[in-house]
Amino acid sequence: MEALLPLIILSPFIGAAIIGIWGLFSSSFRHQEKLIGTIATLAVVLPFVLVLNTFLSYEHGKPVSFHLFSWMATKNFSVDFSYVLDEASLLMGLIVTGIGSLIHIYSIAYMHHDKGFYRYFLYLNLFIFSMNNLILGDNLLVLFLGWEGVGACSYFLIGYWFEDMAKAMAAQKAFVANRIGDFALLVAMFIIFTSTGSLKFSEISLSGDVAFWVALLVFIAATGKSAQIPLYVWLPDAMAGPTPVSALIHAATMVTSGIYLIARMSEVFLQVPGVMILVAVIGGLTAILAALIAIAQNDIKKVLAYSTVSQLGFMFMALGAGAFSTAIFHVMTHAFFKACLFLGSGSVIHAMEHMHLVDDPQDIRTMGKLGKYMPSTSKTFWISTLAIAGIFPLSGFFSKDEILGKLFAAGHEHVMYYAVWAVGMITAVLTAFYMTRVTFLTFNGKKRFPEEGHPHESSPLMTIPLWILAGLAIVGGFLGLPAVVGHGHYNWISEHWLSISKAPIIVNRILHADLTTEWILIGISFCVAIGGVYFAYSLYSKYDLQADLKVKSFFGSMYRVMENKFFIDEFYNAAIIRPFVWLGNYAIMPFDKKFIDGLVNGSGYLVYSAGSVFRQLQSGLVQKYALLMFIGVVVLLGYAIFG
Amino acid sequence: MEFLQVNPFHYLTVAAAMFTIGALGVLTRRNAIVVFMCIELMLNAVNLSLVTFSNMHNNAAGSMFVFFVMVIAAAEAVVGLAIIIALFRNRQDVDINNMNIFKW
Amino acid sequence: MQFNIQDLIQTMPLVMLLVTGLLLMLSDAFNLRSLLPWLAGLGLTASLVLALPLQPGDQAIVPVYNNMFLTGGLASFVHIALCLGALFSLFFIQDFFQRAGKVVDEIYAILVFSVIGMIMLANSNDLAVTFIGLETMSICLYVMAALLKTRQSSNEAGLKYFLLGSFATGFLLFGMSMLYGITGTTQFTLMSQTDMSGNILFLPAVLFILIGFLFKVSAFPFHNWTPDVYQGTPTPLAGFMATASKTASFIALGMFLHQTMPVLDEKIFWILVGSAVISMVYGNIVAARQTNLKRLLAYSSIAHTGYVLLGLASGKEGFIAVIFYAFIYTIMNVGAFGLIGMNEIEEEDAEVSRWNGIGLRKPWFGVAMSVFLFSLAGIPPLAGFMSKYQVFFAAVRSELYVAAIIGVLASVVGAYYYIRVIVNMYFTKSETETSHALPSCAMSPTIGVFVLAALTLALGIFPSPVYTWIESLFQGSGMLAMAGF
């Protein structure tokens, strides 16, 4: 089996190569959807089987590594295409390849009859390839390869359906936000290499100022990829892509890579408590901001997108508290229920589209009572909603409760964590509320689409993945039972899997709270979730869509702000994009035209007045160039002699 | 007659002056051919200084260098004039200030 | 001074090129038109093959002809790289001129002679040889720029390049004469033995020579000619101009600086760094506003010059990275220019809008262009990423932190305009679908594109062989070690 491990990386690549090359050269191949779907799915199922096999036969503290070949080997710098399957990467690998497989299967039905079918699966396979590089690479450069690769694939998939420039703006936005993160990561890599002489995760050890800068830069990189303040704006817009893509890339896998990266570098972060607090605060702010926006949205995918941003905020809170393995736990449970929610929304959109009766198939105001027509979608969607709301005993309850518990315990370290904890609690209420709202308005209540419409349940290819994910969303939480149960001995993820090995991949800050506090916190979480769901349910079942008016009057003028997403896009437009365009139009261009020309003309004038011989000076382009060169010579000469 | 004594310094001064005149001519003249002649002037200034240095150091390397410069300047002139003629054929004009199809 | 048969054997590859050039002129005279590209290709390949066995050995570099010229070792590698650059360009030339409806058979001879000039420039050990090489190269390039003599654009490009180029040569030559005046010799190796640090003329002399080179590599503030000239030059030749001539000039500059100054003068160092930083920032910012692809690539080449100059300022490791970078840059840029040329029929056809939707109409074309552009943008795993990474890495090791960070930032910003072209190719519909004929797909340019795209990909994933090859050239106790490497 060991010899087959390279296939984890290579198989999606081979799949992409086959589909890409074949599709490019044979137009008849492009329409063979079954063949393409099978190749692409197999290319992802195979790695899943391999990762699962490694996982089942894994011995603690003995990471399995494999090596493809040496990427670069020079005297001072060498980096290999080598990968490591340890506790952390195995867990992520299972999520990525597992959910990836389900989404490939789902996509075969969802993308049926799309004219770019082969292109879609090409990108999807390439994405899995890049994501595997990102999580399994044993050094930062391979991680960076994956990091850029997932960015490029996400970019192509966001812009997948758009053939005109204006609408491809969403893709542009994603690209720019990600580039800022990439820049930070590149600089962090340079710093790490100069101070440790290696880019391998296992050999990175930093301290002092270096640790501070690296942690800060890695955090900035993570805010780009994982959509946190101030770079989260791209994620809601990324919903322009096909829905399965939103489920895979923009909910379950790629957006969590920032969290994964921080968790892998936990040792560095633990040395700089200041940055840790920053991480927690940014996470908290992002969580509550996104939750508030989500309340006022009517586009089903937009709600889910903001909910993703909000949940990612929860993960950052956990990271900030030093509970890295808890963050990974939430990554996992979130992957289950959010992928299920997105795929469910895809199923709904699919059904709404096929009715051909509504203008916007994503608007929940034109849905309602869909549960009657789409039982499977409805049930799985409700399960996942309750899971994300944190209803006991679904998975979201356990991971969210653990995050909040750890935050509270971290309050001993710094009082700021209490504040973050409080924000987290409020966000939990809001989450329960808006998720219940969107689900209720979609599947229950009054039928708000035209009477003649008869939406249909999607094909089994789509509902089976939904049920699998819903099942996982129910049981996933038992992998991390809270500390009150047997003093944490039954918290498989944090206590057994991620922390027990002798050389831990992820080091957690030691956070203890006494049992009474734990019980109280669990009680609060329990009540908060139930309360939020119950309140929303009763409100919306009573007033249906009109309940939004109540919410509106409750929030007052704040509601308008929420509806408009806190005017963040407008703010960025005014504060960053407009000045940049202005700079381009009025500063850079005139810099070209006015400044350089002016400089050249001005000094031309100097030369003119200096010598009567040269009175015939007139500006001409070649001479302007020559004059600039001449000025360059004079300046450099002046510097060389007098400088 | 001390002041009539010509020493290497004088040659170099002349060379530097010629070079500067050539460079400033490039910056100011409008006719492509005149600009080109100014460039030739710069090259000849260099030739003068090379010969002077060769004489100072009492070795032939500098003088040899001058021959190369002269040959290459000739080759350059061939190509340059050919380009200018091609331009003239198309535009009936060799004023370099009127030559701005390409801009920023 | 006596003639040494050993020297002739050592310079056989160069003689091979010379013979090829003469044969090409002769064949042209006898109207053997169809033979020309094959003859040129054959000659370049033969010369390349002849240079291969001169590689190994401890005393890798052998000076010949009274220490005027270097062969073997690094010099052979440079020879091979430059011949390869010309060979890559050769794929695109004939097809381009055929479609332009112009018969310019002399281009093959000019191409070969320009390669001779480049090799002489890069491998010289003597001011006179440097000058002759530089001018041989430049004169050929002037001709290339003005090759389509009935087009005003080509005339203008040629004249601009010619006037400014000769102007820069004047400075270079003036610097050379001063350097000769100080040291009394024209040989680099002898110069390094004279102590020149106290001489007041030393810095101006080196500076003037530096300026001549900075012009050739189009570094700020000697960059103005680049966009105009590249835009007016026949496209495949612009690709050759942008890569091979820069490669030769960079290597010549590096060798010159390191051989005359075992310890790089601080002021020269800062001039290099300053020019590098401004070039990369300026090039990337202005490139973002271009609508003509050739112009865009010209500004991007100014930015790339900035990265390479940063490497030149970073010592031995930086120089290795520079050579690697130049090699990779040749591959991807010749490919990109070649593709632009293939999609061009009339003069103004390099507009970005011409590429709208091409990725869907002509998939392999779009894929190949994306490969080149992604590589130029420095996105892994393509070759451009590794080469850029090595240069920045060398800069960081030389403690040029700020410059390296500005460089990374500039390249991150710079990625934007390459991606914009890709957006146009895939996400934008062509407004006038019918009038835009599909790009040319003649045999030889197609093969060329495939070879270059494959190399771009392969050298990104397996850069080690080439990199360690270059690195191995710097081992041992030969001339390079003496020159401070």
Judge whether C449 and C227 are in contact, CB under 8 Å: no
The reported pLDDT for the residue numbered A218 is: 94
Residue A49 binned pLDDT confidence (cut-offs 50, 70, 90):
very high
Residue A618 binned pLDDT confidence (cut-offs 50, 70, 90):
very low
Residues of B in contact with C156 (CB under 8 A): 87, 99-102
Q: Is the pLDDT of residue C346 over 70?
A: no
CATH number of domain containing B75: 1.10.287.3510
Residues of C in contact with A155 (CB under 8 A): 419
Is C104 a domain residue? yes
Q: Which of C149, C152, C180 lies closest to B62 in CB terms?
A: C180
Judge: B97–A623 Cβ closer than 8 Å, yes or no.
yes
The reported pLDDT for the residue numbered A611 is: 31
Is B104 a domain residue? no
Instruction: Give, to the nearest 10 degrees, the angle between helix C225-232 and helix C293-312.
Output: 130
- Average pLDDT for residues C72-83, to the nearest whole number? 90
Is B52 a domain residue? yes
- Flag whether residue A360 sits within 8 Å of chain B, measured between CB atoms: no
Q: How many independent structural domains does chain B possess?
A: 1
Residue A597 vs residue C195, higher pLDDT: C195
A–C interface: beta-carbon pairs under 8 A:
141
**How far, in Å, CA of A308 to CA of A226, rounded?**
10
Q: How many independent structural domains does chain C possess?
A: 1
In A197-299, where does DSSP find H-type helix?
A: 208-225, 234-237, 243-247, 257-264, 266-270, 273-295
Å from A112 to nearest chain C CA? 20
Judge: B86–C160 Cβ closer than 8 Å, yes or no.
no
Q: Which of A614, A618, A622 lies closest to B99 in CB terms?
A: A622
B94 backbone dihedrals φ, ψ, rounded to 5°:
-120, 25
Judge: B42–C174 Cβ closer than 8 Å, yes or no.
yes
Look up tokens 């003859």; give the residue. Answer: C39
Mutate to test the interface with B, among C174, C187, C292 (most CBs of B within 10 A): C174
Å from A636 to nearest chain B CA? 16
The reported pLDDT for the residue numbered A615 is: 29
The reported pLDDT for the residue numbered C479 is: 60
Residue A16 binned pLDDT confidence (cut-offs 50, 70, 90):
very high
Q: Which of C149, C174, C178 lies closest to B86 in CB terms?
A: C149
The reported pLDDT for the residue numbered C434 is: 47
Most confident range, picked from A185-194, A497-506, C342-351, C452-461: C452-461
Query: Rounded to an integer, what is the distance from CA A507 to the centroid of its chain?
Result: 23
The reported pLDDT for the residue numbered C54 is: 67
Q: Is the pTM of this model over 0.90?
A: no
Give residues with Cβ within 8 angstroms of A554, minimum separation 6: none
Q: Is the pLDDT of residue C70 over 90?
A: no
Least confident of A49-58, C96-105, C370-379, C401-410: C96-105
Q: Which of B24, B96, B103 lies closest to A620 in CB terms?
A: B96
Å from B27 to nearest chain C CA? 10
Å from A475 to nearest chain C CA? 39
**How far, in Å, CA of A281 to CA of C361, rounded?**
49
Q: Is the pLDDT of residue B2 over 70?
A: no
pLDDT digits (tens, 9 = 90+) for C369-379: 999 999 999 88
Q: Is the pLDDT of residue B93 over 70?
A: yes
The reported pLDDT for the residue numbered A220 is: 92
Q: Which of A165, A176, A633 lies closest to C428 in CB terms?
A: A165
Percent of chain C with pLDDT over 70: 92
- Flag whether residue B60 sits within 8 Å of chain A, measured between CB atoms: no
A70 backbone dihedrals φ, ψ, rounded to 5°:
-80, 125
Q: Is the pLDDT of residue C320 over 80?
A: yes
Q: Is the pLDDT of residue A612 over 50?
A: no
> How does strand A78-85 pair with strand C62-64?
unpaired
In the structure encoding, which two tokens stand for residue A104, read together?
Answer: 């490939």
Look up tokens 């000849």; give the residue. Answer: B44
Percent of chain A with pLDDT over 90: 31
Judge: A625–C224 Cβ closer than 8 Å, yes or no.
yes
Residue A402 vs residue C349, higher pLDDT: A402
Is B103 a domain residue? no
Q: Is the pLDDT of residue C292 over 80?
A: yes
Least confident of A404-408, A561-565, C206-210: A561-565
Q: Give the Å distances, CA to CA, from A341 to A294, A304, A349, C481.
A: 15, 8, 12, 65
Look up tokens 């409080």; give the residue. Answer: A422
Cα nearest neighbour of C159 on chain B: B83
Interface of B with C in 21-50 (CB under 8 A): 22-23, 26, 32, 35-36, 39, 42-43, 45-46, 49-50
Cα nearest neighbour of A73 on chain C: C464
- Average pLDDT for residues C38-65, to the nearest whole number? 81
The reported pLDDT for the residue numbered C399 is: 87
Judge: C364–A633 Cβ closer than 8 Å, yes or no.
no
Touching chains, C (3+ CB pairs < 8 A): A, B
The reported pLDDT for the residue numbered A607 is: 37
Judge: A627–B103 Cβ closer than 8 Å, yes or no.
no
Cα nearest neighbour of B35 on chain C: C163
Residue A585 binned pLDDT confidence (cut-offs 50, 70, 90):
low
Cα nearest neighbour of A608 on chain B: B28
Mutate to test the interface with C, among A117, A190, A209, A634 (most CBs of C within 10 A): A190
Mean pLDDT of chain C: 87
Judge: B27–A619 Cβ closer than 8 Å, yes or no.
no
Residue A97 binned pLDDT confidence (cut-offs 50, 70, 90):
very high
- Average pLDDT for residues A101-107, to the nearest whole number? 92
Least confident of A7-21, A146-160, A375-389, C87-101: A146-160
The reported pLDDT for the residue numbered A596 is: 46
The reported pLDDT for the residue numbered A219 is: 94
Element (H, E) at C96: helix C74-100
Residue C236 binned pLDDT confidence (cut-offs 50, 70, 90):
very high
Q: Which of A592, A593, A617 lies closest to B28 in CB terms?
A: A617
Is B76 a domain residue? yes
Least confident of A272-281, B87-96, C124-133: B87-96
ipTM: 0.94
Residue A167 binned pLDDT confidence (cut-offs 50, 70, 90):
low
The reported pLDDT for the residue numbered A235 is: 85
Residues of C in contact with A168 (CB under 8 A): 423, 427-428
Is C1 a domain residue? no
Residue C260 vs residue A401, higher pLDDT: A401
Q: Is the pLDDT of residue A577 over 80?
A: no
Is B29 a domain residue? yes
Judge: A76–C317 Cβ closer than 8 Å, yes or no.
yes
Give residues with Cβ within 8 angstroms of C465, minimum separation 6: none
**How far, in Å, CA of C401 to CA of C404, rounded?**
5
- Average pLDDT for residues C62-86, to the nearest whole number? 89
The reported pLDDT for the residue numbered B49 is: 94
Q: What is the residue range of C282's domain?
A: 6-482
**How far, in Å, CA of C423 to CA of A259, rounded?**
30
- Flag whether residue A598 sits within 8 Å of chain B, measured between CB atoms: no
Q: Is the pLDDT of residue C425 over 90?
A: no
**How far, in Å, CA of A587 to CA of A583, rounded?**
5
Mutate to test the interface with A, among B28, B29, B35, B97 (most CBs of A within 10 A): B28
Q: Is the pLDDT of residue A606 over 60?
A: no
Mean pLDDT of chain A: 83
Q: Is the pLDDT of residue A101 over 70?
A: yes
The reported pLDDT for the residue numbered C24 is: 94
Mutate to test the interface with A, among B21, B26, B27 (most CBs of A within 10 A): B27
Q: Is the pLDDT of residue A599 over 50?
A: no
**How far, in Å, CA of A627 to CA of B2, rounded?**
41
pLDDT digits (tens, 9 = 90+) for C457-469: 999 988 988 988 8
The reported pLDDT for the residue numbered B67 is: 94
End-to-end CA distance of chain B, in Å?
Answer: 59
Q: Is the pLDDT of residue A54 over 80?
A: yes
Q: Is the pLDDT of residue A609 over 60?
A: no
Q: What is the DSSP letter of A3?
A: G
CA-wise closest residue to C7 among C54, C47, C40: C54
Q: What is the residue range of B78's domain?
A: 7-98
pLDDT digits (tens, 9 = 90+) for A421-479: 999 999 999 999 999 999 998 888 888 888 787 888 888 888 999 999 999 999 888 88
Element (H, E) at A88: helix A87-110
Torsion of CA A162, A164, A170, A172, to 10 degrees: 120
Q: Is the pLDDT of residue A610 over 50?
A: no
Judge: A75–C471 Cβ closer than 8 Å, yes or no.
yes
Q: Is the pLDDT of residue B23 over 90?
A: yes
Query: Rounded to an integer, what is the distance from CA B4 to the centroid of its chain?
Result: 28
- Flag whether residue B28 sits within 8 Å of chain A, measured between CB atoms: yes
